[in-house]
Amino acid sequence: MSDGLSRRSFLKLAATASAAAAIPGCEPAARKLIPYVVPDENVIPGVPTFYATTCTECSAGCGVVARVMEGRVIKLEGNPVDPISQGAICARGQAALQGLYNPDRLGDPKTRQSDGTLTPIHWDDATKLMNGKLAAAAQAGKGRVAFIGAPQGPTLNSVAKAWGVAYNSVRVGFWEALSDEPAERVVYSTFGRHDLPIYKLDQAETIISFGADFVETWRSPVEYARQFAQFRAPKTRGGTLSIGRAAYVGPRLNSTAAKCDEWVASNPGTEGAVAMAVLNVVVNQGWVAANTGVNLDDIKKLVANYDPEKVSAQTGVPAEQIKRIAGWFGQATGGAVALAGTAEVQAHLAAYILNLVTGNLGKTMIFLDEEVPLEATWSQSIKGIIDAMRDGEVDVLIIAGGNPAYSMPPAYAFKEASKRVGYVIWMGDAPDESADLANLLIPTHHPLETWRDTAPRAGIHGLGQPVMQPVYRSRALHDILIASAHVGAGTAGQAITYENAADAINTAWQDLQGKIGGGSTPKQFWDDARRHGGVFQDGKPATVKFALEDDDIEAMSGPPPAPSELTLWAFPHIFLYDGRGANKSWLQEIPDPVTQIVWDTWAEIHPDTAAKLGLKKDYEQTRLFAGIDVIRISTPGGPIELTATISPLVKPGVIAVPFGQGHTSYGRYANGIGVNPFYFLPEGTRSVAVTARKLDKQYKLVTPLGSSDMMGRTIIEAMTVSDLANGVEPDFGEEKVDRPYEMYAPIEYAGHKWGMTIDVNSCTGCSACIAACYAENNVQVVGKANVDLGRIMSWIRVERYIQPADKVGDGPLIQIAPMLCQQCDHAPCEPVCPVFASHHTNEGLNAQIYNRCIGTRFCENNCPYKVRRFNWYAPEFVEPLNYQLNPDVTVRGAGVMEKCTFCIQRITTAEINARTEDRKLVDGEIIPACAQACPSRAITFGDINDPNSAMIKRRNDNKGRVYTMLPEFNALPAITYLRDLYQEKGKA
Amino acid sequence: MAAAVDQSNYHNLSFLDVDRTAQRVMAPAGLKYWLWVGFCAFLVAVGGSFWTRQIYEGLGVTGYGQPTLWAIYITDFVFWVGIAHSGTLISAVLFLFRTRWRTAVYRCAETMTVFAVLTAGLFPIVHLGRPWFFYWLCPYPNERYLQPDFRSPLTWDFFAISTYLTTSTLFLSMGLIPDIANQRDISIGWRKKFYSVLACGWQGTDRQWRNFSMAYLLLAGFATPLVLSVHSVVSWDFATMQTPGMHSTIFAPYFVAGAIFSGCAMVLTLIIPMRKMLHIEDLVTIWHLDSLAKVILLTSLVITYSYSTEAFLVYYAQDPIEMTTFYQRFFGHQGYLFGGMVLCNCLIPLLLFSPSIRTNTIWLFVISIFVNIGMWLERFVLIAGSLSVATIPSQWKFYVPKVTEVMITIASFGWFLMNFSLFTKFLPIVSMTELKEGVGWLRKSARNTYPYGKAS
């Protein structure tokens, strides 16, 4: 500083500079950190709190654990003590958070003006208005108040019913669009019970599913995916190593069918006929167990019309195939189970009888002592309410979830009926199509903000507790109902003794303790339940008696109808289900595992059918599934325009369309996409005869998928069970590279060296890992247009390949495996980065330093696995979706490469904890989000340096199946895959 | 052949003719010239605004995506670096070989080199996700002791390009000194001052001439290996990648040949209209163009050979992944690009076997344009084409450009042509000094018969 700047002038300058910095106004908006004025003793910044609660995204009733940081729930994880989820969670469960932080939720009560616009009103006015209307209706007569809502758990449902009674009405119904009512109806008419049996797929040797997509949406997908993985794991049965045999009957090859040995492509709606034909073979071949208590003559009468040869034409299934799967089923010595998931009752009946006559009742299909009926009201009663509405017998209708305006069959004419109702009140968290019918809109809590309970089956009592303060100015639905009964219903309302929903739940749980015992005091019982997310017991098996009425036989034994030339068949979307997931951007952006299509409704059509319709057979060589030709489908309910996706994975003559889209007012991510098949389907079925023609119009379906052909590359490998048993290494036509020496010395890892073992045989493609990664790692959603440009950001993806036509039978028809960063030892991404942003950690991870990255993108170019993701734009997390962001993970800016880190934040946390507690890390202490979520337990994470880790053990126990992806690049991945297994060559 | 189109009496030029012609070029410009420069500047401004938007919003405004993370910008980069090469070849290598025809075109070629490298150097920055941190590629002392990774070919690139830019700028500006001194002596006003600075006190003394010649020789010697090394390094950006279709040892020589090929074509593209517009047909004659055309023909044959070798090696190795990539390159979704590249680079240049085409400026100009297009396509096919069909078939996707990168590519031509045009007006675009040497040599040489036009 000798020349120019003296010490004194430097100080002067420095003082001026700091003074300038202190002047407000020239600064960007101040971001203040405000500490808790009175700190909550449970909230330690940076340390998550876990609350056990229940998932309410479907009726499976999985237990979940909410990870809450600084008062905000940031992730849902499976509850390890819950017998259903056992620590896993599906993609839809993960995305419940996006429902909680849905930016389109209703903030204030609103009334509809005469011109149709909505104006916010004060809560007090809203409740006063509502109570006034209800009281007037109740005084006008019996049953002039109606309630149609989504099922909310046994206790809250009974609160709603009590509320109805207080208002002089029993017109209270719980609507579930794709409910298990047909299954329950058959159970009721044959077993005389009001519940559903539970299944033990892992106890079976053969599974035949008649339209039940049990690893996707059917009943309890997390539980059944786990059981199915155990069923498919190689086991020694009768002295030989084998895997379970499974067949799926249905018009479309979904991911359940992809994991089965055989896809029995049946015409839509004829799964029941196939089931009856299988039953026919089983009974006539005498593959029946003794003492099942079934009158076989009745059964023979029932299936008389279903000789496999005779129904072959109607079902479209060759007789040999029916006989073959019947043979598997009837001759299975180690247990067999038939499942049914159709909207028609016939398949359910046949499946129950199949399990029954083969002596599997009580083994693979079990009725428990306590009957837990379905929460959804049977459609007959729902229709009764709607009829009453149409007849003007209802003055006030409350719609509380379930979105009946969207998901009811047009035959119900719900919208028209609601117009005859004097006053319609909609209650819910986010407005939907049903809210459009309402005069008053009342915002209610999201299930994660309320108390509730679940009873998915006997012995399991799930307890849901609020996991955070409400995001919006909403109130709990049942709090509103109870208060309304107390205030508006006069003395009748006083019959409801609870003060609010929490009180109702608490009371119910006190009763429960009285019933099942456990816990020394009610408080302890309650606290334990809150801690564990419920009380879980194994239900006791019940003895049931099967009786088939003569008129049932008559109703069911008629020959199946002739197939129509072209049938529209709708199926639940694996993520959007019946449409409830449509406003969750994760669920929209995660590709459907089979078609890989995102953000849209598609119409899957077989190439033969496509040729008849004049569609081009092969659009683009490498984009097998992304169709462009729009077809017009004429249904009895009106025309639909959809883009055809030409796929060999669907029965010829079928147009398979997923439910879920076609929303008009369900929020920013859902509106204006695709069509809603519910609007076009007759009541009680998911298929309808249609005609279709090609339009002179094109529309692009978007998929991140390139080619569906693996081209013989070592990406997903499969081998036969006999090869595994005989220790034969399958030949993939790859030259086995012999590496006598390496140019560089192997990298030594003194401490840990993280790795993964992934069992391709277990992976069902359910994409729970992808959703978990989105939630855990703040991965941005890019939207349809950007997916089309190849900018999907998920760090883990489901690789999906289809055997080309000339190789069918040479392995499974569809191959599915999770693909994520392989954390290579010789990582090709590392040396090419000019600024060391991509570098190797001393625990074997290929770390990416976001701050150092300048965005040359050289790393991803050089990555053989193509698992790095570049931020083309700065991420955008719409308020309040940003509340969900994990504070342990950086949100990446534009121009930066990002990638899977093996959830390094979890690794680091565990390491710090171990160090603070002065102990060694325990195997299993660190679980990355993907492995944690996986329902089928396909992913195991651990320390390669620890020979006793579960991950290394899994490799060693499955030595014959071990492989690494693309070994010719010699990148030495830390992820080892276990090959997929299939029965025998020549049969897919 | 339109024989004797060129009525030049090159060998009869006097020193004064050379001076006058060169000075006429540098006479104050007319409206047409400024309109042209203004048009180029407009292109630059349009491209600049697109770039600004790209920086502001992110690379998402382009058509980029997985798996083609490199596409047009890197294609442009390699294209412009390639263009640069022939300049050094003509000015330095041919100087060392004492090739006489270079004298008239070398300044033009060398100028092209400098501006092409300047253009090329922009593209790696345009291409970056976070361009404001481009200087992290440079090893500068910092408090965090962070240095670039010398294993990365991009770091090699950084040094190769900066060395090349430095050397060719020095070479160009030093060669200018005697000519600028000439201009200084006849200029007035600001031009006088401008040239005085650039002339570095040149007096034309014997001592200065001797030092000049020696320095020129040394710089030429220094620049010569760069002709080989720079584009080899650029090729290693790709050859070191494991991506099928790029991972090949043939890349370095193949890129160098391609660079000279495209560079000579660019010299023709520039010089044919320029000699017409600036009326310097006397200085840059058909003979020069013919010589350039021969180089183009030769290098075209070399790269045709390279293409065949590359494909043959893949066929011979029978690596299934490489085979698929090449199948896709030839017959795949964007196979027409490969077809266009073969047409432009391998087939059309074969016309140059005909002497009548080699001496027809229109034909030469058209062919040179085709070669430029072909070489751009070659890089595009190699980069975007190979990346789009890489190792994981489920991730295949073909790149389609959007307006941003197209406009920035067009702007790069505007930027290059603007600089080049400004140079022609303010600095001597033909080397008076060396032409005079050439004139003297021609006059003296009895053996050399001028093959074009009337010899007298």
Chain A touched by B152 (CB under 8 Å): yes
| pLDDT of B72 higher than 80 | yes
Q: Count A/B contacts: CB-CB distance under 8 Å.
A: 176
Q: How far is CA A845 from CA A399, A559, A698, A942, B39, in A?
A: 52, 62, 45, 13, 52
Chain A touched by B321 (CB under 8 Å): yes
Beta strand ranges found along A611-690 (DSSP E): 629-635, 638-646, 654-658, 687-689
Cβ within 8 Å of B, A 612-651: 620-622
> Nearest residue on chain B to A864, judged by CA atoms?
B391
Cross-chain Cβ contact B158/A834 below 8 Å = yes
User: pLDDT tens-digit profile of B350-385?
Assistant: 999 998 888 888 999 999 999 999 999 999 999 999
Three-class SS of residue A217? Answer: coil
Give the Cα separation of A937 and A954 in Å (integer).
12
CB neighbour class for B132 (10 Å; exposed up to 12, middle 13-18, buried from 19):
exposed
Cross-chain Cβ contact A855/B321 below 8 Å = no
Which of A871, A873, A966 is closest, CB to CB, to B391?
A966
Q: How far is A178 from chain B (nearest CA, A)?
A: 33
Cross-chain Cβ contact B391/A969 below 8 Å = yes
3-state SS, one letter per residue, for chain B: CCCCCCCCCHHHCCHHHHHHHHHHHCCCCCHHHHHHHHHHHHHHHHHHHHHHHHHHHCHHHCCCCCCCCCCHHHHHHHHHHHHHHHHHHHHHHHHHCCCCCHHHHHHHHHHHHHHHHHHHHHHHHHHCCCHHHHHHHCCCCCCCCCCCCCCCHHHHHHHHHHHHHHHHHHHHHHHHHHHHHHHHHHCCHHHHHHHHHHHCCCCCCHHHHHHHHHHHHHHHHHHHHHHHHHHHHHHHHHHCCCCCCCCCCCHHHHHHHHHHHHHHHHHHHHHHHHHHHCCCCCCCCHHHHHHHHHHHHHHHHHHHHHHHHHHHHHHHHCCHHHHHHHHHHHHCCCHHHHHHHHHHHHHHHHHHHCHHHHCCHHHHHHHHHHHHHHHHHHHHHHHHHHHHCCCCHHHCCCCCCCHHHHHHHHHHHHHHHHHHHHHHHHCCCCCHHHHHHHHHHHHHCCCCCCCCCCCC
Q: pLDDT band at B12, cuts 50/70/90? A: low
Give the Cα separation of A47 and A863 in Å (integer).
35
Q: How far is A450 from chain B (nearest CA, A)?
A: 41
Q: Is the separation of the CB atoms in A688 and A570 below 8 Å? A: no
ipTM of the complex: 0.89
Give the Cα separation of A335 and B375 in Å (integer).
68
Give the Cα separation of B126 and B59 in Å (integer).
9
From A136, A135, A163, select the one nearest A149 (Cα to Cα): A163
Q: Mean pLDDT across chain A, nearest whole number?
A: 88
Element (H, E) at A415: helix A414-419
Which of A707, A733, A791 is closest, CB to CB, to B394?
A707
Q: Is the separation of the CB atoms in A394 and A170 below 8 Å? A: no
* Tokens describing residue A767: 């994409």
Q: How far is B389 from chain A (nearest CA, A)?
A: 9
Q: For chain A, what is the radius of gyration of the CA atoms?
A: 29
Chain B touched by A707 (CB under 8 Å): yes
Cross-chain Cβ contact A864/B67 below 8 Å = no
Chain B touched by A158 (CB under 8 Å): no
Chain A touched by B139 (CB under 8 Å): no
> Nearest residue on chain B to A836, judged by CA atoms?
B149
Residue A31 confidence (pLDDT)? 60
Task: Identify all chain A residues contacting B321, using CB atoms and an 8 Å cutoff.
Answer: 711, 713, 968
Q: How far is B328 from chain A (nearest CA, A)?
A: 10
Give the Cα separation of B223 and B174 in Å (integer).
13
Cβ within 8 Å of B, A 646-705: 704-705
Task: Identify all chain B residues contacting A620, using CB atoms and an 8 Å cutoff.
Answer: 333
Q: Is the separation of the CB atoms in A854 and B134 below 8 Å? A: yes
Cross-chain Cβ contact B65/A869 below 8 Å = no
Q: How far is B234 from chain A (nearest CA, A)?
A: 13
| pLDDT of A472 higher than 50 | yes
Cβ within 8 Å of B, A 850-879: 852-858, 860-862, 864-866, 869-874
Which pTM value belongs to this model? 0.90
Chain B touched by A828 (CB under 8 Å): yes
- Sign of the CA dihedral running A732, A735, A740, A743: negative
Residue A1 confidence (pLDDT)? 41
| pLDDT of A933 higher than 70 | yes
Cross-chain Cβ contact A831/B136 below 8 Å = no
Q: How far is B224 from chain A (nearest CA, A)?
A: 27
Element (H, E) at A757: strand A754-759
Residue B453 confidence (pLDDT)? 44
Give the Cα separation of B159 and B162 in Å (integer).
5
Q: How far is A549 from chain B (nearest CA, A)?
A: 53
- pLDDT higher at B265 or A736: B265
Chain A touched by B396 (CB under 8 Å): yes
Chain B touched by A711 (CB under 8 Å): yes
From B58, B117, B53, B54, select the one nearest B85 (Cα to Cα): B117
Three-class SS of residue A776? Answer: helix
Around Cβ A16, how many Cβ atoms within 10 Å?
A: 10
Q: Is the separation of the CB atoms in A817 and A798 below 8 Å? A: yes
Q: At what angle do helices B72-88 and B206-239 cross, to 10 degrees?
A: 150
Residue A387 confidence (pLDDT)? 92
Chain B touched by A892 (CB under 8 Å): no
Three-class SS of residue A758? Answer: strand
Cross-chain Cβ contact A854/B137 below 8 Å = yes
Q: How far is A855 from chain B (nearest CA, A)?
A: 4
Share of chain A above pLDDT 90, in %: 54
Around Cβ A800, how many Cβ atoms within 10 Å?
A: 25
Q: How far is A168 from chain B (nearest CA, A)?
A: 60
Task: Identify all chain B residues contacting A831, using CB atoms and an 8 Å cutoff.
Answer: 149, 151-152
Task: Identify all chain B residues contacting A852, using CB atoms and an 8 Å cutoff.
Answer: 136, 146
Chain A touched by B391 (CB under 8 Å): yes
User: pLDDT tens-digit profile of A448-467?
Assistant: 999 999 988 888 999 999 99
| pLDDT of A875 higher than 70 | yes
Element (H, E) at A797: strand A797-802
Tokens 């529309």 belong to which residue? A699
| Phi and psi at residue A131, to the nearest 5° | -65, -35
Q: At what angle do helices A154-166 and A501-516 cross, to 10 degrees?
A: 120
Cross-chain Cβ contact A894/B59 below 8 Å = yes
Q: pLDDT band at B13, cuts 50/70/90? A: low
Across the range A378-400, mean pLDDT stands at 91
User: pLDDT tens-digit profile of A554-583?
Assistant: 888 888 888 888 999 999 999 999 999 999
DSSP string computed for A291-348: T----HHHHHHHTTT--HHHHHHHH---HHHHHHHHHHHHH-SS-EEEEE--SSHHHH
User: pLDDT tens-digit profile of A320-373?
Assistant: 999 999 999 998 888 899 999 998 889 999 999 999 999 898 889 999 988 888
Expressed in angstroms, the distance from the first to the final Cα of chain B is: 21
CB neighbour class for A2 (10 Å; exposed up to 12, middle 13-18, buried from 19):
exposed
Which of A705, A819, A874 is closest, CB to CB, to B58?
A874
| pLDDT of A755 higher than 60 | yes
> Nearest residue on chain B to A735, judged by CA atoms?
B319
Q: Is the separation of the CB atoms in A498 and A504 below 8 Å? A: yes
Task: Identify all chain B residues contacting A864, using CB atoms and an 8 Å cutoff.
Answer: 242, 390-392
Which of B51, B61, B62, B66 best tests the A interface by mutation, with the highest count of A CBs <10 A? B66
3-state SS, one letter per residue, for A911-931: HHHHHHCCCCCCCCCCCCHHH
Chain A touched by B142 (CB under 8 Å): no
> Nearest residue on chain B to A791, judged by CA atoms?
B65
* Tokens describing residue A259: 């994991």
A453 forms beta bridges with: A463
Which of A708, A735, A816, A835 best tests the B interface by mutation, with the highest count of B CBs <10 A? A835
Chain A touched by B57 (CB under 8 Å): yes
From A688, A676, A699, select the one nearest A615 (Cα to Cα): A699
User: pLDDT tens-digit profile of A215-238?
Assistant: 999 999 999 999 999 999 998 888
A641 forms beta bridges with: A632
Give the Cα separation of A943 and A573 in Å (integer).
37
| pLDDT of B3 higher than 90 | no
Share of chain B above pLDDT 70, in %: 93
DSSP A131: H
Task: Identify all chain B residues contacting A838, using CB atoms and an 8 Å cutoff.
Answer: none
Which of B142, B391, B398, B399 best tests the A interface by mutation, with the highest count of A CBs <10 A? B391
From A605, A121, A218, A147, select the one nearest A382 (Cα to Cα): A147
Q: How far is B332 from chain A (nearest CA, A)?
A: 8
Cross-chain Cβ contact A865/B64 below 8 Å = no
Chain A touched by B68 (CB under 8 Å): yes
Share of chain A above pLDDT 70, in %: 93
Task: Identify all chain A residues contacting B325, using CB atoms and an 8 Å cutoff.
Answer: none
Chain B touched by A453 (CB under 8 Å): no
Listed range (A534-548, A609-623, A822-836) with the worst mean pLDDT: A609-623
Across the range A756-762, mean pLDDT stands at 94
* Tokens describing residue B402: 């959007």
Chain centroid offset of residue A899 CA: 24
Residue A7 confidence (pLDDT)? 63
